[in-house]
Structure 1
Amino acid sequence: MLGLLAGSLWLRTGDLPAWLQGGAPDLVARALDERAPRVAAAILAGAALGLAGTVVQGTVRNPLAEPGLLGITAGAGLGAVAVVTSVAGGGRGLLIAAALTAGLATFGVVALLAWRGGLLPDRFVLVGIGCGYALSALSTFLLLRADPWQTPRIFTWLSGTTYGRTFPDVAWVAAALVLAAPLLWALSRHLDLVAVDEDTPRILGMRLERTRLGLLALAAALAAVSVVAVGVVGFVGLIAPHLARALVGARHGRIIPVAMLLGGLLVCVADLLGRSLIAPSQLPAGLMIALVGAPYFVWLLRRSRG
């Protein structure tokens, strides 16, 4: 509700039913036509990142893991940068297609490089981190040699933003959540076993490598479509599962819905603050989340060392 009403122009709750019925004044209608897709994108992308982070942390058994370790965000960013810097007049549709394709292709490469008689969590994380740094360096190189007039929009997108989003942009994330969320919730007991150790799932008859690869592939798809909706947003996939685990315990059947709700709330609040604090200017949601996520990550490191 606050996401719809707050901004450079503050609205009233009575404006919402008038807008839904098509009877709102032009200024109010334009404001809500812009804000509604942004709020939907923030909530759905945050839910997708929270769900993907839950799966990644459970699958690789690392509480400091998040979807960025899969190389998805760096790969998607490289795909978008390549379009902006090399394709003249490339529209948003081409940028989205390139980001989605490059993100999923990056996960495939990471999984292939990490596979050596199986997919061990530690090796997968290390390969993902290495590939992520390499792809980020390529993105920086392309931006440095590009036309400076073409780079502002890609810098904004890489910082994570809901600016200019439309409902067709949100449809990708909504479809992914409708398909993946029930499936992952049904597999929550498998995820509980995978999170224990390497031996327990095999003793109980689970095909561990196939299960782990399938779970990580679903997390990769969710992370990729979230990049399409809100750009490159970090820390949500790290913070939301931790908060959910603190609230409801370690069983993934409980963590999954709570992490999705918390992830959507985090991105929505970050978007609201970014639009309202210095209105009419705006701060990207990704930067707002980083202001909270970076200190939280340092606190986690300190706590885990203790």
Structure 2
Amino acid sequence: MIRNPMASPDVLGVTGGASSAAVCFLSYFAGTVSIRFLPVAAMLGAAIVTVALYSLAWKRGVTPLRLVLVGVGLSAILSGITTMMVLFNPRNEADQAYVWLTGSVYGANWENVLTILPWTVILLPLAFAYARHIDIVQLGDETATGSGSRVQFNRFLLLCVSVGLAGSAVSVAGGLSFVGLIAPHMARKLMGPSFGKMFPVSVLLGAIVVVLADLAGRMLFQPLDVPAGVFTAGVGAPFFIYLLYSKRNSI
């Protein structure tokens, strides 16, 4: 919907909003509120960022480039806010927060699956149902509008779906960097540009990337258990730079 190869929840600030809200929940409310509300807190943070993103990027509509530029700025601000919350926490809680922010599936269990299952069951089919609209928008906003697609409404709706999916994932696995950037590009190479074909493959590849990163963290540096997010960032950051370089004339 954004038609920018660099756009991902990390870059747009959605992951940062979810992470900040989750750290706030774990720091100040975990002792009094059930941990099952953590996905709600993460999605609320991501939703607030999305509203701010849309408000700041809106000028007679929202363009893909403005969304990405505003998202990068919001992501930097949220990173600073999250770091401040971690620094003001006690030592043990700060260490746990740093590991969680890096991104890790260590200690994940079936309770975590049940926590995010309702959001996944509702939002994944909704995203898949809009596959045709996403394919049309790839041709350009004007072409999509001419074909009868409500471009701005669909873009906002699908951003809301992304907020829900990213928020629920962050609430369990933390801020796994660049998975949302790597997996769709891999799926596009394998399946072509059609969103209906690419989407399920992207979901599968994202899961595989996380599992491989987790295995690498557990096996390569024993007895240390390195968070999976270290490896996803190590691969994703160079890939992001490569995308910037390869698309420098079209961005």
Using structure 1 for the length normalisation, give the TM-score: 0.74
AA in 2 matched with 1:193: I
| CA distance in 2 between partners of 1:90 and 1:158 (Å) | 22
Percent identity, please: 38
Partner of 2:5: 63
AA in 1 matched with 2:3: R
| 1:196 is aligned to 2:139 | yes
Contact 1:267–1:289, Cα closer than 8 Å, also in 2: yes
Pairwise mapping of residues 131-142 of structure 1 onto structure 2 (< 5 A)? 131-142=74-85
| CA distance in 1 between partners of 2:172 and 2:25 (Å) | 17
Pairwise mapping of residues 129-208 of structure 1 onto structure 2 (< 5 A)? 129-208=72-151
Q: Look up the SS of the partner of 1:190 in the other structure.
A: helix
Partner of 1:216: 159
| CA distance in 2 between partners of 1:82 and 1:197 (Å) | 39
Work out the number of aligned pairs and report it: 248
| 1:257 is aligned to 2:220 | no
Pairwise mapping of residues 1-306 of structure 1 onto structure 2 (< 5 A)? 59-87=1-29, 89=31, 93=35, 95-305=38-248
* 1:176–1:274 Cα change, 3 Å: same
| CA distance in 1 between partners of 2:199 and 2:120 (Å) | 12
Q: Look up the SS of the partner of 1:135 in the other structure.
A: helix
| CA distance in 2 between partners of 1:295 and 1:130 (Å) | 20
Q: Who wins on radius of gyration, i.e. which is larger?
A: 1
Give the C-alpha shift of residue 86 in structure 1: 4.2
| CA distance in 2 between partners of 1:243 and 1:191 (Å) | 18
| CA distance in 2 between partners of 1:277 and 1:150 (Å) | 26
Partner of 1:9: none
| CA distance in 2 between partners of 1:258 and 1:237 (Å) | 13
Deviations 1:76-124 (CA, angstroms, capped at 9, x unpaired)? 2222332444458467716554333222222222223323332222222
* 1:237–1:294 Cα change, 3 Å: same
AA in 2 matched with 1:99: A
Give the C-alpha shift of residue 251 in structure 1: 1.1
AA in 2 matched with 1:68: D
| CA distance in 2 between partners of 1:64 and 1:92 (Å) | 36
In the alignment, structure 2 segments of 5+ residues that lack a partner are none
| CA distance in 1 between partners of 2:99 and 2:155 (Å) | 34
Superposed CA RMSD: 2.1
Give the structure, 1 or 2, with the largest relative contact order (CA under 8 Å, sep 6 or more).
Answer: 1
* 1:298–1:125 Cα change, 3 Å: closer
Q: Look up the SS of the partner of 2:225 in the other structure.
A: coil
